[in-house]
Amino acid sequence: MLQHSGQEFKLRGSRSKQIIFSNIIDLNNLPVEVNHAKDYYIYAGSLTMLKGADNLLKLINISSEKISFVVVGLPKGEESKKIYKKLGGEKKCYFERPKEP
């Protein structure tokens, strides 16, 4: 099960059958608390190439200075560690350490 077509490309060599579910959670019934003080996006979870760490870096580079990004998670893998380090140099990217279980 994949979340986006970028994962399909990276897993092309896999012998398993791949199906993309763009959004398996219906967001229409979730309560939304709106805070218009500042726009930001949250990346939650391990920072990996499979989850699009490289695309996150590209998105931050092309986004408006008015938008901030919060990364909650740690990198896994050497390429992701390099991207994590680059993200740390971005003024509009902040890190929150994940809580221990």
pLDDT digits over 33-65, tens only? 655 567 788 888 889 998 889 999 999 999 888
Prediction pTM value: 0.60
Using CA atoms, how far apart are residues 60 and 89, in angstroms rounded to an integer?
11
* Domains with residue ranges and CATH for the chain: 37-101 (3.40.50.2000)
Collect all residues with Cβ–Cβ distance below 8 Å to 75 and sequence separation of at least 6.
46, 47, 48, 53, 81, 83, 84
Residue 21 pLDDT class (50, 70, 90 cuts): low
